[in-house]
Chain A
Amino acid sequence: MTEVEYPPYEESAQLARYIQKYPRSFTRNPTQPFIRRPLTLSELTGPVGLESRLEIGDGDLSRRAPDGPRAIGQFISVSGRVVDQDGAPLAGAVIEIWQANSAGKYIHEMDRHEAPVDPNFTGQGRLVTDAEGRYSFLSIKPGAYPVMESDWWWRPPHIHFSIFGPSWMNRFVTQIFFPGEPLNETDLLLNAVQDPEARDRLIFGTTATRVGKVNMLGFRRDFVLRGKHRTPALD
């Protein structure tokens, strides 16, 4: 069996570290070069089986309780797969999700935006991928909101994802945006990715619309976590 490899992230396929008009990037990124180190058991292992330590939800963020009223907003379904760089599914990966409500308001003491809190929406949830690396959840589409520390920046609708791969080396955090949103054009974070193909990987795809008994719009996003040669070579 080949040893798992975790090559350093390629800069061109990632967000820039320094972003004009995003002041904290200039006060928090280290000035000294990052130091190369060997990867030993300590870095190659990581928190697997986190569902035994953290509470996992029912995959429905659109209401507080299974029989409770739904939050106001566009009812959506989000699904996808978590795979490694070989495309092998990462089963049992814990995913944390958080997002604003349909008015662009988070339940968080740092949120100073004067938009209403929805009593039926917590905006957070936790899931685990299945044997094929798949995840899915129901929610409502988040609204846009102003960055109160700036005088112009509005964040486009987005959902935050925090994913625990099987290693400390592929612990992963990101934000996924909605296709066709005008604010996507000016967002400092989304546009901090140079490579257009990589930028597209931060945007949801849509699934074919369907009308039935329960109706929601479908969005899809697969995630590729760092790590290759996890599975034995076939030849």
Chain B
Amino acid sequence: MLVPSPYCTIGPFFPGQFVEGCEDLTRFDGRTARGQHILLAGRVVEEGNLPTLNVVLEIWQPDANGVFRHPLDPRSRDADPGFFGWGRARTDADGRYRFRTVIPGSYRTGDGTLRCPHVNVMVLAIGLTRRLVTTLFFGDAPDDVRDPVLGCVSDRAARRRLFAVRDSALDSEGLTAYRFDIVLRGENETPFFLD
């Protein structure tokens, strides 16, 4: 059995052209994604609540019906032709990032367990020799959401930090905005999963 190659930090000089256009998940292959288009925006901060400039975020999510564009998904033939599911953004000097995407649908795993609407998030940055991975959820009543991944976060306050919250102050371009702030380290730290 081969040992995986070592990860290394993305460093400060990830090309801007590799990010341009990747913030928008709502258009693919000349089509428009089905479902509710939203802005998914927030700030990434480090210790001391300081903004992080130049942090790269990538997201992966199912379409509005909970289908992944991937051969492992038994429903992949029904995947929205206007939605790819992957995006990338970079934080500005205030630590702010913004994606344009759709609210993902829920789906049932092979054993019937419900995966509630969620988006996989990974963080790449100077100072991080490996990516950090977390998952963001939607819902107005975080304590009532039952999801096998969310359920692994035993601390209630930490669990709530995994929810994107409706924030009308961030609405723009006629789109409803959800805010998801990421605290890499310090008070109110975002829970991250073992990778």
A and B associate? yes
Residues of A within 8 A of B (CB): 8-10, 13-17, 19, 22-32, 34-38, 40-50, 52-54, 83-87, 96, 98, 100, 106-111, 123-124, 160, 162, 166, 168, 170-175, 189, 192-193, 198-199, 201-202, 223-226, 228
- Chain A residues near B16 (CB-CB < 8 A): 108-109
B61 to chain A, nearest CB (A): 8
Q: What's the Cα separation between A168 and B66 when bound, in Å? A: 16
A145 to chain B, nearest CB (A): 10
- Chain A residues near B12 (CB-CB < 8 A): 108, 110-111
Can you name the residue of chain A whose Cβ is closest to the Cβ of B124?
Answer: A173
Can you name the residue of chain A whose Cβ is closest to the Cβ of B70?
Answer: A45
When A35-B191, A36-B193 are in contact, do A98 and B124 touch as well, CB less than 8 Å?
Answer: no
Q: What's the Cα separation between A107 and B16 when bound, in Å? A: 9
* Contact present for B69 and A110 (CB under 8 Å): no
- Chain A residues near B127 (CB-CB < 8 A): 22-29
- Chain B residues near A47 (CB-CB < 8 A): 60, 69, 84-86
* Contact present for B4 and A189 (CB under 8 Å): no
* Contact present for A46 and B125 (CB under 8 Å): no
Contact among B1, B2, B15, B109 for A124, CB-based, below 8 A:
B15
Q: What's the Cα separation between A110 and B120 when bound, in Å? A: 28
- Chain A residues near B85 (CB-CB < 8 A): 47
* Contact present for B148 and A28 (CB under 8 Å): no
Residue B174 CB within 8 A of the other chain: no
- Chain B residues near A50 (CB-CB < 8 A): 86
How would residues 57 to 79 of chain B score, 1 for a CB under 8 Å from any chain A CB and 0 otherwise?
A: 01011100000111111000000
One of B35-43, B44-52, B164-172 at the interface? B44-52
Residue B10 CB within 8 A of the other chain: yes
- Chain B residues near A108 (CB-CB < 8 A): 12-16
A113 to chain B, nearest CB (A): 10
Residue B96 CB within 8 A of the other chain: no
5 A-B pairs in the complex with CB atoms less than 8 angstroms apart: A24-B128, A36-B193, A44-B72, A83-B2, A225-B5
B82 to chain A, nearest CB (A): 12
Instruction: For the complex of A and B, list the 9 residue pairs with the smallest distance between their C-beta atoms, beginning with the closest.
Output: A24-B127, A47-B86, A45-B70, A15-B129, A34-B194, A28-B127, A106-B13, A27-B47, A108-B13
A217 to chain B, nearest CB (A): 22
* Contact present for A46 and B2 (CB under 8 Å): no
Q: What's the Cα separation between A25 and B47 when bound, in Å? A: 11
Can you name the residue of chain B whose Cβ is closest to the Cβ of A221?
Answer: B5
Can you name the residue of chain A whose Cβ is closest to the Cβ of B1?
Answer: A85
Q: What's the Cα separation between A53 and B24 when bound, in Å? A: 11
Residue B145 CB within 8 A of the other chain: no
- Chain A residues near B8 (CB-CB < 8 A): 15, 173-175, 189, 202
B192 to chain A, nearest CB (A): 5
* Contact present for B17 and A124 (CB under 8 Å): yes
Contact among B13, B86, B135, B189 for A53, CB-based, below 8 A:
B86
Q: What's the Cα separation between A224 and B132 when bound, in Å? A: 20
Contact among A9, A111, A166 for B7, CB-based, below 8 A:
A9
Contact among A40, A49, A168 for B148, CB-based, below 8 A:
A40
* Contact present for A41 and B13 (CB under 8 Å): no
